[in-house]
Structure 1
Amino acid sequence: MKQRISALGLDVGRRRIGVAGCDGTGLIATGLFTIERQSFQQVVEQLQAIARERQVQVLVIGLPYCMDGHLGQQARQVQKFVHRITPLLNLPVVYVDERLTSVQAEELIEAERRVSHDKGLIDRKAAALILQRWLDEGAQRPDLMESDRVTP
């Protein structure tokens, strides 16, 4: 029997954080909401509330590698944010390469005949793509859970 999994996917940006969750089977990721970043404390409180409510076991964070595979300024900002928030959420963190997820999200929205000017919707879809990528790569495998784990 497959173990229940509760993960949150985060697409961390300067102004917004897209948040996605998965069903208990770990098969399907869905965009939940977008956090408009007003203060660090406000972000922490929102993430703590959703983590409690959904009994989250792991955070899956999109890491924006440059196209050539190295970590640029935005990736370092995401890592800095994650290192600040990890002890406050007390959850393991894994990073997933998020290259082109925002582009994919916009394409999905356009394919659904929606207007893609809603940046929050794009962030939610990107977070769902990040989480889905992790789920598809075998989230239940211990080696994947450990490979990019950040500890508080």
Structure 2
Amino acid sequence: MPAPILPLIEAAGRWPERGALVGLDLGTKTIGVAVSDPDRRLATGVETIQRKAFKADAARLLAICAERKVVGFVLGLPINMDGSEGPRAQSTRAFARNLAGLTDLPIGLWDERLSTAAVERELIGMDVSRAKRAEVIDTHAAIFILQGALDRLTTLRRSGQ
């Protein structure tokens, strides 16, 4: 049975109470990967996958999930500033549909507007060279996306929603 693809809050209802989540920043050339701790408090960068073919990319992602005992995915959905979905969001949804056919782990979509820009500003502020930024930006964007989702879920849990 294919995995459900849902907005983050709905996906959270499908995940067990504990267990790591994997966060993805999907780019055209790379996939930034981050994983949370089992209590879902902290996102940590894992790697940047150089995209090849979908099957190879998915195989690596599923291997990471198995290694880390992941219970669900958080995919950054690049929504435009006006709230519409452009080609990148459509590409992310297509990736999610393809991935859902290979796993039963629920997939949550999380608005990642400006995540890469925010990470780049942070890295520039830390005086990271342009070359080094290019190496780490996708993984850091995945951390930013996943941590934002974790923080949102924590806020909702604390408020009883």
1:29-48 matches, cutoff 5 A? 29-48=43-62
Q: CA deviation at 1:28?
A: 0.9
1:8-87 matches, cutoff 5 A? 8-87=22-101
Give CA deviations for 1:9-58 in whole Å, capped at 9, x if unaligned.
00011111000011222111112110000111210110111010011101
Distance 1:58 1:116, change over 3 A: farther
SS in 2 for 1:7: strand
Identity of aligned residues (%): 36
Which structure 2 segments of 5+ residues have no match? 1-16
Which structure 1 segments of 5+ residues have no match? 143-152
Partner of 2:151: 136
In structure 2, what residue type is equivalent to 1:130? I
TM-score, L = length of structure 1: 0.85
Partner of 1:148: none
1:58-137 matches, cutoff 5 A? 58-117=72-131, 118-137=133-152
Give CA deviations for 1:109-131 in whole Å, capped at 9, x if unaligned.
22332224443411111111110
Shifted more, 63-72 versus 119-128: the winner is 119-128
Q: CA deviation at 1:108?
A: 1.9
Contact kept, 8 Å, 1:29 with 1:131, in 2: the verdict is yes
